């Protein structure tokens, strides 16, 4: 009942059922619905709340056998927040509620511990003043410091009863000075104000910001848990602590945690005193330790997951205050999954569901050390995960040169383009001041598994002067820079890096994922190296080979340019003939790695001008050649003219994809020739060729596909490839294609959703600019909670995907359906593709393991 009771409330209630009422202090939960009603009424308690609270309180008092505020023997309560999802430290809590000038004496008498009673009272006053009435923490700390000075002591714990009594007076005075009211002595009034304060904390700045970052909806509200206090600070047979049912860092079988003798819970977490390792509890309180160990096992087997608990021992008696699933690093998640299955605690499927698929990235890339302490220089988009560090270089050429000289470098650019790809290979990581998750830098970096932080708004890269500036710091080539692409931060500090391990346990979990999942997992790869890596990670084929990348290498680009510069078909064909062997060689490499598996090859997609130099640059060169009267003037002028000719106002909506193939069929012909020749050559050499899937990009009309299909079939026949396993299909990346998917399906063997372009065209958001532009503001204003380029926009773009899948299969029941946009590696989007009935997802090599686990989770949940 987590939605209604919040995580804490639901867990405490359930834990009480599992462990029995004696183990868990009595209490009640005010629902999240009450908080929502309170917010709706503009901060007024909903009707009936008061009566229900006093009812529940009556039962709590009955169970405790004591009354709140009883001057002789009072029960005290804690009032804690508890949202559906944990928001650690963001919402308010109040402890020791129910103390006043009279009940404090009663508490002193019944516990025989005057100091404890007054210490509890002053703690309550402190929290109440701060949390319920906004008395600033500094004013409170000042009062404590003054009191310590007066008593001549250093530590809070050295204050004697008389000092604590005096401190209570100080706080009461402070309270009335700051609020203009007396501190409320009536426990019911204290409770009312505390409940209100917890509700209000839901709308506090801290909480709002936390929710924004963690994508928790504002509408949920928090529950309020009122629970009888037990005391870990009643002397040496009492303690408070936190305990994980297994090692919280490694996931190993030994429970871990911290505790403090003679202390309350917040002392353990606040860091005021250094807590002791849980293992030492065995010596300090053997009986409580034994019980705790047994309880941890019981909770684990009940919840079938690793638990994170809070406990208190009050005069030798162990109480459990809270339990929840433990947050854990990827390493521990994998270890737990494997051990839990071996111990018979969970099934493989259940074990898979305990793993956070997205977090597995950490096991595939180096990361900043867990305890790394460094100052963030600037933040940007977390474009490609992992961490890296090295000397700054500003150009791909210097990256290559430095790497050849054995130096580790980080490529820092305003943005990157095709020419920079060699620099990516050479660099450890990439930083750009522009671009988002779908920018060239991000795509290429993710494909290669290089960490990248993009769109660092505060970074100004001045290539002309060879320096970069960030908030007043000037960086030069050769300066050290480190980046964490998982978090999207950069720093100039020499942060230690930790290497990833793909260990046996991880392999095992991936194996189970393969048993459970129904979605296929392929990879987006354009080189044999990427393809091989993806195979090692478990890819079952290539879902997208972007052939344009093959023309960007240094030895191809000039030929590609000649081809584009050519004015006649004949000249173009001559240039293409030179490109053909290169293209064939590239395919052979890929096909060898993927023999026997499906390989989807997309024919040339981007607008031609992407292969030409920048207009400005050529114009400057022409100018120079004119002044210096150099002999290449004519060539340069021709180039400038051609660049002008092919450049478009909206290239992303321009002559690209199949439009290019229709305009210049000879380009696609050459590509198909290369594919067929490579497949035949590989089959000849190794006896097996891949299953070829030739994919036509950016199709909007079925006639485009009819045209292209004819071309492909003709060339395949001409090249003697008729007996190859070869199908022809299309990318679905335009809204129109989704609307007329049945027509397109009638001429396609498969669809592959290009959700990058589909998102761009459905939303009218530029995939290159939106993330570093207005999307940040959209998130701040809560119009969106995440980038639609990262997680598929289910109601909008997702609807188009569903529509196309449905109508496409209606026209052709055996139509194969895949997705090769970046969403193919995003766990949440993968869950959607499962529901939409796709056959496979395709993602960059490093995301393949994540996709395998996410697909298994999606299948498991779908099955449920």
Distance CA 62, CA 57 (A): 8
Distance CA 444, CA 438 (A): 10
Determine the distance from the C-alpha atom of residue 547 to the mean position of all C-alpha atoms in its chain, rounded to a whole number.
Answer: 30
Residue 768 site contact among Mg ion, ligand PEP, none (CB < 5 to 8 Å, cut-off depends on kind): none
550 binds ligand PEP (CB under 6 A): no
Query: What is the smallest separation between the CB atom of 754 and Mg ion, expressed in angstroms?
Result: 4
> Residue from 429, 606, 754, 825 that binds Mg ion (CB under 5 A)?
754
Query: What is the smallest separation between the CB atom of 481 and Mg ion, expressed in angstroms?
Result: 32
824 binds Mg ion (CB under 5 A): no
Burial 21-56 (b: 16+ CB within 10 A, else e): eebbbbbbbbbbebbbbbbeeeeebeeebeeebeeb
546 binds ligand PEP (CB under 6 A): yes
Residue that is written with structure tokens 């899937």 in the block: 693
How many binding residues for Mg ion (CB under 5 A)?
3
Query: What is the smallest separation between the CB atom of 443 and ligand PEP, expressed in angstroms?
Result: 7
One DSSP character per residue, 266-295 reads HHHHH-SSPPEEGGGHHHH-HHHHHHHHHH
Residue 600 site contact among ligand PEP, Mg ion, none (CB < 5 to 8 Å, cut-off depends on kind): none
* 117-125, 637-645, 746-754, 845-853 -> range binding Mg ion (CB under 5 A): 746-754
3-state secondary structure of 403: helix
> Residue from 820, 830, 831, 836 that binds ligand PEP (CB under 6 A)?
820
Answer for the pair 617, 624: CB distance below 8 angstroms, yes or no: no
545 binds ligand PEP (CB under 6 A): no
Query: What is the smallest separation between the CB atom of 789 and ligand PEP, expressed in angstroms?
Result: 9
Structure tokens at 694: 């030739």
Structure tokens at 385: 């995960």
Query: What is the smallest separation between the CB atom of 63 and ligand PEP, expressed in angstroms?
Result: 59
For residue 390, which phi and psi values (nearest 5 degrees)?
170, -175
* 4-12, 158-166, 331-339, 749-757 -> range binding ligand PEP (CB under 6 A): 749-757
* 199-207, 470-478, 748-756, 833-841 -> range binding ligand PEP (CB under 6 A): 748-756
Q: How many CA atoms lie within 13 A of 259 on its CB side?
A: 31
Residue that is written with structure tokens 């060169």 in the block: 621
3-state secondary structure of 598: strand
757 binds Mg ion (CB under 5 A): yes
Query: What is the smallest separation between the CB atom of 844 and ligand PEP, expressed in angstroms?
Result: 11
Query: What is the smallest separation between the CB atom of 281 and ligand PEP, expressed in angstroms?
Result: 54
Judged by CB under 6 A, the chain residues 602 through 621 that form the site for ligand PEP are: 605
Judged by CB under 6 A, the chain residues 687 through 746 that form the site for ligand PEP are: 733
One DSSP character per residue, 294-309 reads HHHHHHHHHHTS-EEE
- Identified catalytic residue from 454, 658, 738, 820: 820
445 binds ligand PEP (CB under 6 A): no
544 binds ligand PEP (CB under 6 A): yes
Answer for the pair 21, 63: CB distance below 8 angstroms, yes or no: yes
Structure tokens at 106: 């009663």
Residue 429 site contact among Mg ion, ligand PEP, none (CB < 5 to 8 Å, cut-off depends on kind): none
The verdict on whether 582 is a catalytic residue reads no
Identify which of residues 497 and 667 has a Cβ nearer to Mg ion in the complex.
667
* Closest listed residue to residue 86, CA positions, set 34, 196, 8: 8
* 612-620, 681-689, 755-763, 825-833 -> range binding ligand PEP (CB under 6 A): 755-763
Identify which of residues 84 and 546 has a Cβ nearer to ligand PEP in the complex.
546
Distance CA 322, CA 309 (A): 5
Answer for the pair 819, 753: CB distance below 8 angstroms, yes or no: yes
Helix/strand/coil (H, E, C) string of 185-207?
A: CCHHHHHHHHHHHHHHHHCCHHH
Query: What is the smallest separation between the CB atom of 605 and ligand PEP, expressed in angstroms?
Result: 6
Identify which of residues 256 and 787 has a Cβ nearer to ligand PEP in the complex.
787
790 binds ligand PEP (CB under 6 A): no
Query: What is the smallest separation between the CB atom of 546 and ligand PEP, expressed in angstroms?
Result: 5
Distances in Å between the Cα of 515 and the Cα atoms of 17, 262, 356, 542, 644 are: 35, 51, 18, 20, 54
User: Residues, the chain, total?
Assistant: 864
Distance CA 735, CA 757 (A): 10
Identify which of residues 67 and 602 has a Cβ nearer to ligand PEP in the complex.
602
- Identified catalytic residue from 132, 239, 365, 440: 440
> Residue from 583, 756, 761, 857 that binds ligand PEP (CB under 6 A)?
756
Residue 248 site contact among Mg ion, ligand PEP, none (CB < 5 to 8 Å, cut-off depends on kind): none
Residue 827 site contact among ligand PEP, Mg ion, none (CB < 5 to 8 Å, cut-off depends on kind): none
* 39-47, 630-638, 676-684, 751-759 -> range binding ligand PEP (CB under 6 A): 751-759
349 binds ligand PEP (CB under 6 A): no
Identify which of residues 413 and 823 has a Cβ nearer to ligand PEP in the complex.
823
Distance CA 26, CA 320 (A): 11
Angle (CA) 161-165-169 rounded to 5° is 165
673 binds ligand PEP (CB under 6 A): no
Residue 546 site contact among Mg ion, ligand PEP, none (CB < 5 to 8 Å, cut-off depends on kind): ligand PEP
Query: What is the smallest separation between the CB atom of 652 and ligand PEP, expressed in angstroms?
Result: 9
Beginning with the edge strand found earlier in the chain, give each strand of the sheet holding 409-413 in spatial order. Answer: 378-379, 489-491, 480-484, 387-393, 409-413, 429-432, 452-454, 381-384
The Cβ of residue 581 has, within 10 Å, a number of other Cβ atoms equal to 11
Answer for the pair 262, 156: CB distance below 8 angstroms, yes or no: no
* 333-341, 349-357, 365-373, 754-762 -> range binding ligand PEP (CB under 6 A): 754-762
> Residue from 265, 436, 729, 821 that binds ligand PEP (CB under 6 A)?
821
* Closest listed residue to residue 367, CA positions, set 409, 330, 404, 400: 330
Identify which of residues 276 and 767 has a Cβ nearer to Mg ion in the complex.
767
Residue 120 site contact among ligand PEP, Mg ion, none (CB < 5 to 8 Å, cut-off depends on kind): none
For residue 414, which phi and psi values (nearest 5 degrees)?
-65, -45
547 binds ligand PEP (CB under 6 A): no
The verdict on whether 820 is a catalytic residue reads yes
Answer for the pair 313, 321: CB distance below 8 angstroms, yes or no: no
Based on its alpha-carbon atoms, the radius of gyration of the chain, rounded to whole angstroms, reads 33
Query: What is the smallest separation between the CB atom of 659 and ligand PEP, expressed in angstroms?
Result: 14
H-helix or E-strand spanning residue 177: helix 161-179
> Residue from 74, 390, 754, 825 that binds ligand PEP (CB under 6 A)?
754
755 binds ligand PEP (CB under 6 A): yes
How many binding residues for ligand PEP (CB under 6 A)?
10
Alpha helices for 701-794 (secondary structure H): 702-718, 735-739, 741-745, 755-763, 775-780
Identify which of residues 823 and 852 has a Cβ nearer to ligand PEP in the complex.
823
Query: What is the smallest separation between the CB atom of 649 and Mg ion, expressed in angstroms?
Result: 19
Structure tokens at 100: 């006043």
757 binds ligand PEP (CB under 6 A): yes
Distance CA 439, CA 454 (A): 8
Judged by CB under 6 A, the chain residues 382 through 421 that form the site for ligand PEP are: none
Residue 544 site contact among ligand PEP, Mg ion, none (CB < 5 to 8 Å, cut-off depends on kind): ligand PEP
Residue 586 site contact among Mg ion, ligand PEP, none (CB < 5 to 8 Å, cut-off depends on kind): none
Residues catalogued as catalytic: 440, 820
The binding site for ligand PEP (CB under 6 A) comprises 544, 546, 605, 733, 754-757, 820-821
The binding site for Mg ion (CB under 5 A) comprises 733, 754, 757
């Amino acid at each position: 009942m987590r939605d209604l009771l919040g995580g804490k409330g639901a867990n405490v209630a359930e834990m009480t059922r599992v462990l029995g009422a004696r183990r868990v202090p009595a209490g009640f939960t005010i629902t999240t619905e009450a908080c929502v009603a309170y917010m709706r009424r503009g901060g007024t308690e909903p009707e009936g709340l008061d009566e229900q609270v006093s009812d529940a309180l009556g039962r709590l008092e009955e169970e405790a056998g004591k009354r709140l505020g009883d001057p002789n023997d009072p029960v005290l309560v804690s009032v804690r927040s508890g949202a559906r999802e944990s928001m650690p430290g963001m919402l308010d809590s109040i402890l020791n509620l129910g103390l006043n000038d009279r009940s404090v004496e009663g508490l002193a008498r019944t516990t025989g511990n005057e100091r404890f009673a007054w210490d509890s009272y002053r703690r309550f006053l402190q929290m109440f003043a701060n949390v319920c009435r906004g008395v600033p923490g500094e004013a409170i700390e000042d009062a404590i410091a003054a009191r310590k000075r007066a008593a001549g002591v250093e530590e809070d714990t050295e204050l004697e009863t008389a000092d604590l009594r005096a401190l209570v007076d100080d706080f009461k005075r402070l309270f009335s000075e700051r609020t203009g009211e007396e501190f409320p002595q009536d426990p019911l009034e204290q409770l009312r104000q505390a409940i209100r304060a917890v509700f209000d904390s839901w709308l506090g700045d801290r909480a709002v910001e936390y929710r924004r970052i963690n994508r928790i909806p504002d509408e949920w509200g928090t529950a309020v848990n009122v629970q009888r206090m037990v005391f870990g600070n009643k002397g040496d047979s009492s303690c408070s602590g936190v305990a994980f049912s297994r090692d919280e860092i490694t996931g190993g079988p030994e429970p871990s945690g911290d505790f403090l003798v003679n202390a309350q819970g917040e002392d353990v977490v606040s860091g005021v005193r250094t807590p002791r390792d849980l293992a030492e509890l065995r010596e300090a309180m053997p009986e409580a330790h034994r019980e705790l160990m047994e309880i941890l096992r019981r909770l684990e087997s009940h919840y079938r997951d690793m638990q994170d608990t809070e406990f208190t021992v009050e005069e030798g008696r162990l109480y459990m205050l809270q339990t929840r699933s433990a947050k854990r690093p990827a390493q521990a998640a994998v270890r737990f999954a494997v051990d839990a299955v071996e111990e018979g605690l969970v099934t493989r499927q259940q074990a898979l569901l305990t793993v956070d698929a997205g977090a597995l990235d950490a096991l595939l890339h180096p990361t900043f050390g867990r305890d790394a302490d460094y100052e963030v220089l600037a933040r940007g988009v977390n474009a490609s995960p992992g961490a890296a560090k090295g000397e700054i270089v500003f150009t791909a050429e210097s990256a290559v040169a430095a790497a050849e000289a054995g130096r580790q470098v980080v490529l820092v650019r305003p943005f990157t383009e095709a020419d920079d790809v060699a620099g990516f290979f050479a660099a450890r990581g990439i930083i750009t001041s522009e671009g988002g998750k779908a920018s060239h830098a991000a795509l290429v970096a993710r494909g290669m598994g290089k960490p990248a932080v993009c769109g660092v708004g505060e970074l100004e890269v001045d290539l002309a002067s060879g320096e970069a500036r960030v908030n007043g710091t000037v960086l030069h080539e050769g300066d050290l820079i480190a980046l964490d692409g998982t978090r999207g931060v950069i720093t100039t500090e020499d942060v230690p890096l930790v290497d990833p391990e793909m260990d046996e346990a991880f392999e095992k979990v991936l194996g189970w994922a393969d048993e459970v999942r129904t979605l296929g997992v392929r990879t987006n790869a354009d080189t044999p190296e990427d393809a091989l890596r993806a195979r090692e990670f478990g890819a079952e084929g290539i879902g997208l080979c972007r052939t344009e990348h093959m023309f960007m290498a240094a030895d191809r680009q000039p030929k590609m340019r000649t081809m584009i510069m050519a004015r006649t078909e004949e000249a173009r064909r001559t240039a293409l003939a030179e490109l053909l062997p290169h293209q064939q060689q590239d395919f052979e490499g890929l096909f060898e790695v993927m023999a026997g598996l499906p390989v989807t090859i997309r024919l040339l997609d981007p607008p031609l001008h992407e292969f030409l130099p920048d207009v400005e640059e050529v114009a400057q060169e022409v100018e120079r050649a004119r002044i210096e009267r150099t002999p290449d003037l004519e060539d340069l002028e021709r180039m400038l003219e051609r660049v002008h000719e092919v450049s478009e106002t909206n290239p992303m909506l321009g002559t690209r994809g199949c439009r290019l193939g229709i305009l210049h069929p000879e380009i696609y012909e050459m590509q198909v020739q290369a594919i067929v020749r490579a497949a035949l050559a590989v089959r000849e050499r190794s006896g097996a060729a891949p299953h070829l899937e030739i994919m036509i990009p950016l199709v909007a009309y079925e006639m485009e596909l009819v045209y292209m299909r004819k071309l492909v079939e003709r060339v395949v026949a001409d090249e003697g490839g008729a007996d190859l396993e070869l199908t022809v299909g299309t990318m679905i990346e335009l809204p129109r294609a989704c609307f007329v998917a049945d027509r397109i399906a009638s001429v396609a063997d498969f669809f592959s959703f290009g959700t990058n372009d589909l998102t761009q065209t459905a939303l009218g958001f530029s995939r290159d600019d939106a993330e570093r532009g207005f999307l940040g503001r959209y998130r701040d204003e809560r119009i969106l909670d995440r980038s639609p380029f990262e997680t598929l926009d289910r109601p909008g773009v997702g609807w188009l995907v569903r529509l196309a899948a449905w109508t496409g299969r209606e026209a052709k029941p055996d139509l194969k359906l895949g997705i090769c946009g970046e969403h193919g590696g995003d766990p949440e989007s993968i869950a959607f593709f499962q529901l939409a009935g796709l056959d496979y997802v395709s993602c960059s090599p490093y995301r393949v393991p994540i996709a395998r686990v996410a697909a298994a989770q999606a299948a498991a949940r779908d099955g449920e």
